[in-house]
Chain A
Amino acid sequence: MSRKRLNLHEILEVRHLTDSTFVIRFEKNGMDFKAGQHVCVGPPNGIHTREYSIYSAENDPFVEILVKEVQNGLVTPVLKGLKAGQNVVVEEPVGYFTLQEEKIKSKKFLFIATGTGISPFHSMTKSIPELDYKILHGVRTSQEGYERDEYKKDRYILCSSRDQSGDYTGRITNYLKEVMIDKDSEVYLCGNCNMIHDAYDILEEKGISNEQIHAEVYF
């Protein structure tokens, strides 16, 4: 098996954030991507891969993905067991869930995520520090506020539905209903499909046009 054919990248670090969620950092190997794009990553045998939004910043000297283990899954339990020095198969980055260059300096951005759907927004905010953004992160318990200290406090709101240790207690969509949204904002939604559909309705009711709403479904 040639290295070129399998696109093997050496793992530099595995950071376990919760019992089931972890960050894999691997060699960049010249990979060029735009924040918000995703890569297909899999164990080194190369049979199965899954899509993961890139978690790290565009200019970081490594690439990171945020992974949640799927019980009895074909890929994530294997990825979870990998260690630094081992390899992962990585395909080239693709995807259109990216920021439009011409809007980066002129627009406000509202990022709405559930769970590991925070990943592209982590990459965007780290890649473009001057971005005028706010993140709404919906989780079950505040333990899932992955590396939340990395965001500016006034720009990150953790909505936890099953405990009271977030910034807001309840579903992210309830929070969305209660707040004012700048009608000129560009809104990015990432996470489970039900949240995206509910948020979509709420945003429409609040006068946000379809063209301002961008969505990436996690599955």
Chain B
Amino acid sequence: MNLSDSERVASVLDAAGCTKVDNEEDANIIGILACSVRQKAIDKVYNKISKWNKWKNNKNLITFISGCILPADKEKFLKLFDIVFAMPELPQFPKMLGEYGVTNPLSLIAEPNNTIDEIQLFWNVKPKYDSNFEAFIPIQNGCNKFCTYCAVPYTRGREVSRPSQEILDEVRSLAEKGYKSITLLGQNVNSYGLDKKGDELTFPELLEKVGQIGEEVNKEFWVYFTSPHPRDMTDDIFHIIAKYDCLGKQIHFPIQSGDEKVLIKMNRNHSLEKYRKTMQSFRSILPQATVFTDIIVGFTDETEEQFENTRKAMEEFKYNMAYIAMYSPRPGAASYRWEDNIPLEEKKRRFAVLSDELQKHTYEYNKSLVGKTIKVLIREKDRKPGYLSGHTAGKIVIRLESDDLSLIGQIVELKVTGAARFSIEGELVEKTVNC
């Protein structure tokens, strides 16, 4: 989400006559799009602004901050940054720059009350895409779920869906320009349309129309979405993914915990049984697809037995990737009021246990691909000299030995020649496919 936001901020600054510089030391306007999910991210904000405010002794510098900011943090940031604005206020940013240094009283108002009009103006900002083959399209903003470990409902407000026609126009435009990977973004992407109470497409309907664009545009591209919430995940979404080639055969499906009681304490609003049934449907409808997940270890009061249930869930669901986080309380989230009572060493141990568990399944899956010819989007030069890397339609990382930079941004066919725990290796079969 932050990447998508930053592309829109870049677009506004560009239109205001600013030029991007490569080093922060060279900038005259510098800012941060904050992330409220982790306290570490907010700690970094304080480190950065402290440094930048010292630079002001020697140069002209305007500082700004936006993104996910808690109301309480916002009060503090107003004293540290020249400009503080909520992301829906982005269209007003150039005006604020003109008045920089003057505290904007609008910014003192509680963040969750972004009006629908403001978020609409924000969505109308044409992003300056960082890549010419990968793009992110925000389709929904805010969260109604109130997971106890998360501050997003307090920083981004309630769920608001972007008009479907705008989304579909953006998808079509990107596809026609030759973009190869498009990701639909939202805090609860599959809650799309629910806030409009029947006056907007539902998420499955939106996805169907995206699939139809894929049929109409004579170019190959893959569309993904993140993050969905298990509570609103339905089988028709899987059927639609199966129906259209352009819909990436991968889902990100956060479980967070494999224990019923921890799920209750996290206020996830679904049971493990509901998650299990959804996964069973997913596997039966899309047997070739990959599944990624998010897991938190060491949540307040998580017992060894409860953690073991999460490990068992990981064993059962055989994820292709898991973003495992050691729990850290986030100011503003409900769980911040609870004691963070699992010692760091124990969190590290649980993290390591799950990482080992994950690797068993990823390695098995990756080995099963050896010898197959698969389509791959080449994304960048690999760290290993003489190699490029990309991902499969299922977002499995793949490397190939090549220094042909013209392949970057192309979908090519590779024969898989080797497998590691979190990646595979392949060799080129043919250069490009249907482009």
Q: Tell me whether A147 is interfacial, beta carbon within 8 Å.
A: no
Q: Tell me whether A146 is interfacial, beta carbon within 8 Å.
A: no
Q: With a CB–CB cut-off of 8 A, which chain A residues contact B108?
A: 47
A51 to B148, CA, bound (A): 11
Q: With a CB–CB cut-off of 8 A, which chain A residues contact B162?
A: none
Interchain Cβ contacts under 8 Å between A and B, 19 examples = A5-B115, A46-B110, A46-B113, A47-B108, A48-B71, A49-B110, A49-B154, A51-B334, A95-B146, A193-B264, A193-B265, A193-B301, A210-B272, A210-B273, A216-B267, A217-B267, A219-B335, A219-B337, A219-B338
Task: Give A76-102 as 1s and 0s: 1 = Cβ < 8 Å from B's Cβ atoms.
Answer: 000000000000010110111000000
Within 8 A of B (CB), among A43-61: 46-49, 51
Q: Tell me whether A1 is interfacial, beta carbon within 8 Å.
A: yes
Is there contact, CB below 8 Å, between A42 and B110?
yes
A96's nearest neighbour on chain B, judged by CB, is: B269
- Rounded to whole Å, the gap between the CB of A114 and the closest CB of chain B is 14
Q: With a CB–CB cut-off of 8 A, which chain A residues contact B110?
A: 6, 42, 46-49, 89
Main secondary structure of the interface of B (DSSP, over half): helix
Is there contact, CB below 8 Å, between A91 and B113?
yes
Is there contact, CB below 8 Å, between A211 and B271?
yes
Q: Tell me whether A40 is interfacial, beta carbon within 8 Å.
A: yes
Q: Tell me whether B243 is interfacial, beta carbon within 8 Å.
A: no
Is there contact, CB below 8 Å, between A5 and B109?
yes
- Rounded to whole Å, the gap between the CB of A34 and the closest CB of chain B is 12
Within 8 A of A (CB), among B288-339: 301, 334-335, 337-338
A95 to B269, CA, bound (A): 9
- Rounded to whole Å, the gap between the CB of B72 and the closest CB of chain A is 7
- Rounded to whole Å, the gap between the CB of A192 and the closest CB of chain B is 11
Is there contact, CB below 8 Å, between B146 and A51?
yes
Q: A42, A211, A217 — which one has the most chain B CB atoms within 10 A of its CB? A: A217
A95 to B260, CA, bound (A): 19
Is there contact, CB below 8 Å, between B112 and A40?
yes
Is there contact, CB below 8 Å, between A47 and B71?
yes
Q: With a CB–CB cut-off of 8 A, which chain B residues contact A127?
A: none
Chain A interface extent, by class: 20 to 34
Pick the contact of A219 from B75, B148, B153, B273 — CB < 8 Å? B148
A4 to B118, CA, bound (A): 12
- Rounded to whole Å, the gap between the CB of A169 and the closest CB of chain B is 27
Task: Give B258-275 as 1s and 0s: 1 = Cβ < 8 Å from A's Cβ atoms.
Answer: 001100110101011110
Q: A46-B71, A217-B148 are in contact. List 8 more A-B contacts (CB 8 A).
A: A1-B109, A6-B113, A89-B110, A91-B113, A94-B158, A95-B144, A196-B264, A219-B337
Within 8 A of A (CB), among B104-163: 105, 108-110, 112-113, 115, 144, 146, 148, 153-154, 157-158
A197-B112 in contact given A94-B146, A210-B272 (Cβ < 8 Å): no
Q: Tell me whether B231 is interfacial, beta carbon within 8 Å.
A: yes
Binding site for A on B (CB under 8 A): 71-72, 75, 105, 108-110, 112-113, 115, 144, 146, 148, 153-154, 157-158, 231, 260-261, 264-265, 267, 269, 271-274, 301, 334-335, 337-338
A215 to B158, CA, bound (A): 21
A37's nearest neighbour on chain B, judged by CB, is: B144
A91's nearest neighbour on chain B, judged by CB, is: B112
Is there contact, CB below 8 Å, between B146 and A7?
no
Q: Tell me whether A200 is interfacial, beta carbon within 8 Å.
A: yes
Pick the contact of A47 from B75, B144, B261 — CB < 8 Å? B75
Is there contact, CB below 8 Å, between B273 and A211?
yes
Is there contact, CB below 8 Å, between A6 and B109?
yes
Q: With a CB–CB cut-off of 8 A, which chain B residues contact A219?
A: 148, 334-335, 337-338
- Rounded to whole Å, the gap between the CB of A119 and the closest CB of chain B is 16
Q: With a CB–CB cut-off of 8 A, which chain A residues contact B71?
A: 46-48
A48 to B74, CA, bound (A): 11
B197's nearest neighbour on chain A, judged by CB, is: A32
The 7 closest A-B CB pairs, nearest first, are: A46-B110, A94-B144, A219-B334, A215-B264, A96-B269, A47-B71, A210-B271
- Rounded to whole Å, the gap between the CB of B278 and the closest CB of chain A is 13
A200-B269 in contact given A47-B71, A47-B75 (Cβ < 8 Å): no
- Rounded to whole Å, the gap between the CB of A97 and the closest CB of chain B is 8
Q: With a CB–CB cut-off of 8 A, which chain B residues contact A213?
A: 271
A211 to B260, CA, bound (A): 11
Is there contact, CB below 8 Å, between A217 and B264?
yes
- Rounded to whole Å, the gap between the CB of B119 and the closest CB of chain A is 13
Is there contact, CB below 8 Å, between B335 and A96?
no
A1 to B115, CA, bound (A): 13
Q: With a CB–CB cut-off of 8 A, which chain A residues contact B115?
A: 4-5
A91 to B142, CA, bound (A): 13
Q: With a CB–CB cut-off of 8 A, which chain A residues contact B153?
A: 40
Q: With a CB–CB cut-off of 8 A, which chain A residues contact B335?
A: 219
A189's nearest neighbour on chain B, judged by CB, is: B264
A213 to B273, CA, bound (A): 12
Q: With a CB–CB cut-off of 8 A, which chain A residues contact B267?
A: 216-217
Q: With a CB–CB cut-off of 8 A, which chain A residues contact B109?
A: 1, 5-6, 46
A193's nearest neighbour on chain B, judged by CB, is: B265
A200-B261 in contact given A47-B75, A48-B71 (Cβ < 8 Å): yes
B143's nearest neighbour on chain A, judged by CB, is: A94
Q: With a CB–CB cut-off of 8 A, which chain A residues contact B105?
A: 1
- Rounded to whole Å, the gap between the CB of A31 and the closest CB of chain B is 13
Q: With a CB–CB cut-off of 8 A, which chain B residues contact A217?
A: 148, 264-265, 267
Q: With a CB–CB cut-off of 8 A, which chain B residues contact A197?
A: 261, 264-265
Q: With a CB–CB cut-off of 8 A, which chain B residues contact A46?
A: 71, 109-110, 113
- Rounded to whole Å, the gap between the CB of A217 and the closest CB of chain B is 6
- Rounded to whole Å, the gap between the CB of A200 and the closest CB of chain B is 6
- Rounded to whole Å, the gap between the CB of A48 and the closest CB of chain B is 6
A153 to B354, CA, bound (A): 51
A5 to B108, CA, bound (A): 12
B231's nearest neighbour on chain A, judged by CB, is: A96
A6 to B301, CA, bound (A): 36
A47-B72 in contact given A200-B261, A211-B271, A215-B264 (Cβ < 8 Å): yes
